[in-house]
């Protein structure tokens, strides 16, 4: 660990890094690399803190895609109101891992803190399903939620999208797809340390790549190759939204980045692209924390702070729409 980077970490982040370094063990030589990544990602589940009780957790199927995909709907405590605002959420995991279990705890907390329903989407993962399966699933899920709002007890005029890391990229892409396809659009987008350019060629990648969950820039490139095998496709807007020639006409955005995250620069560059296109952008860079801190609220204070910020932002956007 480079001492200058280590010194910039918050105290709780530094303690977590030291603990994780002490627990590193080499994988078995015959381990499946995809399963290794998936199981490794699941290790962060308890670091999100306690499991909060919510009003209800409902399981649905988005039947407008083939095969159908899962949707888990969290209604906050006291959320018996017939028509709640909603956040359609796309989990992170580098396009090859993550799911309901890895994000259950932070999404429960976000539902209760925001007072809105959270619709988590179980989109298809690589390498079993390559691009464009994930964005098409997420686009279909958003449209399905809006079209079935009455049954879901959701206010169709107050639906937002959001996600972390790979899920943040998907949320950004879905906003582009809705605009391009003249489809129902979300009220706002919440992008938490998002991928925005799969070239991963920004200065923060070269400075901080050893801090990325994948282990290095090269490792992450190998994961991305499972999601988008054709390198020529990685410049397409629905793969790398930072490369979209036009980002005008998109909904307001909250973009959260982390100071010590290799993906920091691309997230902040996307915030500037949106501002330049007259999009209303709120950007917060959290100092001294790493990629993934949103899911680490049980051990890193900034994780809870980010949940509170997202909740406050959602409440602000929903309040702007008259009941």
Q: Render pLDDT for 216-266 as a digit per residue (tens, 0 to 9).
A: 899 899 999 999 999 889 999 999 999 999 999 999 999 999 999 999 999
CATH class of 48-319: alpha beta
Catalytic residues: 165, 261, 291
Q: Read off the pLDDT of residues 164-184 as tens digits, 9 standing for 90 and up.
A: 999 999 999 999 999 999 999
The pTM of the whole model exceeds 0.75: yes
* C-beta atoms surrounding 124 within 10 Å: 16
Residue 215 scores a pLDDT above 70: yes
Residue 102 scores a pLDDT above 70: yes
**C-alpha torsion angle, residues 249, 253, 256, 261 (rounded to 10):** -10
Give pLDDT, residue 67.
84
Point out the least confidently predicted range of 54-68, 112-126, 301-315. Answer: 54-68
Average pLDDT over residues 147-167: 97
Compute the chain's Rg from CA coordinates.
18
Side-chain half-sphere CA neighbours of 138 within 13 A: 33
Strand partners, 285: 257
Average pLDDT over residues 103-129: 97
């Amino acid at each position: 660990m480079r001492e200058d980077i280590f010194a910039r970490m918050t105290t709780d982040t530094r303690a977590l890094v030291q603990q994780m370094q002490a627990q590193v063990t080499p994988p078995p030589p015959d381990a499946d690399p995809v399963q290794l990544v998936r199981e490794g990602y699941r290790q962060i589940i308890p670091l999100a803190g306690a499991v909060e009780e919510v009003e209800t957790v409902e399981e649905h199927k988005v039947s407008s895609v083939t095969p159908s995909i899962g949707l888990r709907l969290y209604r906050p405590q006291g959320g018996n109101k017939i028509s709640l605002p909603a956040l359609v959420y796309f989990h992170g995991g580098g396009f090859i891992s993550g799911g309901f279990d890895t994000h259950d705890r932070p999404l429960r907390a976000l539902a209760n803190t925001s007072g809105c329903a959270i619709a988590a989407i179980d989109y298809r993962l690589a390498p079993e399903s390559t691009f464009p399966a994930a964005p098409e699933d997420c686009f279909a899920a958003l449209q399905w939620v809006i079209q079935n709002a009455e049954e879901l007890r959701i206010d169709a005029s107050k639906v937002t999208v959001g996600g972390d890391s790979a899920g943040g990229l998907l949320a950004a892409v879905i906003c582009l797809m809705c605009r391009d396809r003249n489809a129902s659009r979300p009220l706002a987008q919440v992008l938490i340390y998002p991928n925005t350019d799969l070239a991963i060629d920004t200065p923060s990648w070269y400075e901080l790549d050893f801090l990325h969950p994948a282990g290095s820039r090269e490792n992450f490139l190998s994961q991305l190759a499972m999601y988008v095998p054709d390198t020529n496709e990685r410049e397409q807007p629905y793969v790398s939204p930072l490369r979209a020639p036009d980002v005008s006409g998109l909904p307001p955005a909250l973009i959260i980045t982390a100071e010590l995250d290799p993906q920091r620069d691309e997230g902040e560059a996307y915030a500037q692209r949106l501002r330049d296109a007259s999009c209303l952008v709120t950007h917060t860079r959290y100092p001294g924390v790493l990629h993934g801190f949103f899911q680490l609220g049980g051990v890193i204070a900034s994780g809870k702070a980010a949940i509170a910020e997202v909740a406050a932002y959602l409440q602000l956007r929903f309040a702007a729409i008259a009941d």
